[in-house]
Amino acid sequence: MGRETERLQSVCVFCGSSDAADPAYLAAAADLGRALAAAKLRLVYGGGGVGLMGATARAAHEAGGEVLGVIPDFLVGAERALETVEHLIVGSMHERKSIMFEQSDGFVVLPGGIGTLEEIVELLSWRRLELHQKPVVFHNPGGFWKPLFDLFQHTVDARLTPASFMGAWSAVERVDEIVPALYAQAGEPMPPSEETEVLKIS
């Protein structure tokens, strides 16, 4: 399923679309956008200009990163599609999620609401069914996702989900841990930073 690449090139970010989100979450989303741009990883996201979605995309774009937004036509106005980045406008939520999956080599989950939950449960279900082995990293500030992880463990304890499922993702507390965690889960070395390249040249 999806992109079969030899290395990490595009990262999908699932996150909230509410402007009322904690300012710390919005700032972290922007930090992630800059981190993806610095790592030369294309951002694939839900296309909106609001909430954590908009913060991530704007920061990535402003830092010179490549960005692809995927948004259904009925949400273009409601989620204020970010016109400064490349967009695909699709006909349904199902098509949106399918394209985001196909265009991505790894996934980051920032704090979000019911829409984010829908996206990540489907993504992890596909992982459970061995339909993909793409890395999945949760940003878990202050234990934001702990109730979800506890629910997953509850299904394992009830012998409804195999224990191996609990290794289907990694979770980190800090934004600067996200990109390294993606590479670690993908089994790839971190590419040299621009600073390292400059030191080699000099």
Q: Convert the pLDDT of each residue in 150-162 to its tens digit.
A: 999 999 999 999 9
Q: Which of 18, 19, 16, 20 is nearest to 32 (CA)?
A: 16
Confirm or reject CATH 3.40.50.450 for domain 10-201, answering yes or no.
yes
**Helix (H) or strand (E) run with residue 155 in it:** helix 146-157
Residue percentage of the chain with pLDDT more than 90: 77
Instruction: Please report which confidence band the pLDDT of residue 193 belongs to, taking 50, 70 and 90 as the band edges.
Output: low
CA 61 vs CA 151, 155, 191: distances in Å: 36, 40, 20
Q: Convert the pLDDT of each residue in 80-130 to its tens digit.
A: 777 788 988 999 999 999 999 999 999 999 999 999 999 999 999 999 999
Domains of the chain, residue spans: 10-201
The reported pLDDT for the residue numbered 84 is 85
